[in-house]
Structure 1
């Protein structure tokens, strides 16, 4: 082992996968990349962290709903470029030719080229840390995203894509909720 700067700790634990968060502020849609998110339980609760430096933050606070979209490796460069623009003055959907589909439970759109999308409503907001607790309302999976890999942000401008998959469901059967 060798000592490293404390800032590097993030790169060891960054949860991923990289997400694209879509919001609707009452007038227009927006999308931003997000890697600070995590599941909280098997009942469709998630936490994510953002703040007023992101244009989507205002829409999330105001409308209390969003869509979490899971892009595959094919959308990685677009996802990074989305984060370099502000929805305040850029129509990111138009600029980056993002294909959308209507959501069924929220006003923010689904991203048609993502592997999965989860429509969510905000249950709580912890202002001190910019943490939103979300409740999943509807989940969507895109069978045409054949790659099936998820991208994970390392936290230092680099990313990793899932590789080999290990199926140990048999060993964990007693711990998995029905239907999963």
Structure 2
């Protein structure tokens, strides 16, 4: 197998495609689609999003210090794309995409009711790294859709139809290939 050598660039794919909701006091809520996001720490629970400073949502998040990460699904693919290519300066994304604001518990920014998971976040630090600034945030609250809870109280996140972003395309996640630790698990006799 031969490989080409390319200049330095990010090729870590796939990534979650999330809709991040934010709101200034007294103004309409906004949504930005972000793929530069991920888990930072389990204890304390922390995550990050990276946003270009010229984006409309950047100023909102920088000023308020809060946002909600909303996990997206295949059913929300069009809304996810729209919220990434249209500016909240020009359009009310909740209205245009027929999305419902869901009140948060610990912050002012709303979540998106149609998303199966909403993660309330408070900015801990902003790292100005170059083209994007990273918002390092504490996770304050997590809302999960009860439709995906079983009778034992287990949340079935993988049944929600989650999607990912990979090299310019939105992708369905597909079938399970194994579970955490399956490669070293002892076989039952």
Q: TM-score range by the shorter chain?
A: 0.7 to 0.9
Q: Which moved more, 1:97-106 or 1:145-154?
A: 145-154
Pairwise CA distance, 1:5? 6.0
Pairwise CA distance, 1:24: 0.6
More helix by percentage: 1
Report the TM-score, using the length of structure 1 for normalisation. Answer: 0.85
Does residue 1:159 correspond to 2:162, yes or no? no
Decide which structure has the larger Cα Rg and report it. Answer: 2
SS in 2 for 1:2: coil
The answer to whether structure 1 residue 92 and structure 2 residue 112 are counterparts is: no
User: How many correspondences in the alignment?
Assistant: 171
Do the aligned partners of 2:14 and 2:167 also contact (CA within 8 Å) in 1?
no
Partner of 1:132: 135
Aligned-residue CA RMSD in angstroms? 2.4
Distance 1:125 1:172 in 2: 39
Write the deviation string for residues 126-163 of structure 1: whole angstroms up to 9, x where unpaired. Answer: 1134111010000011133684232111132x122212
Structure 1 distance, partners of 2:32, 2:135, is 15
List runs of 5+ in structure 1 lacking aligned partners: 174-180
1:23 aligns with 2:22: yes
**In structure 2, C-alpha distance between the alignment counterparts of 1:160 and 1:8, rounded to whole Å:** 25
Structure 2 length as normaliser, TM-score?
A: 0.81
Displacement over 6 Å in runs of 4+: 170-173
> Displacement, 1:29?
0.8
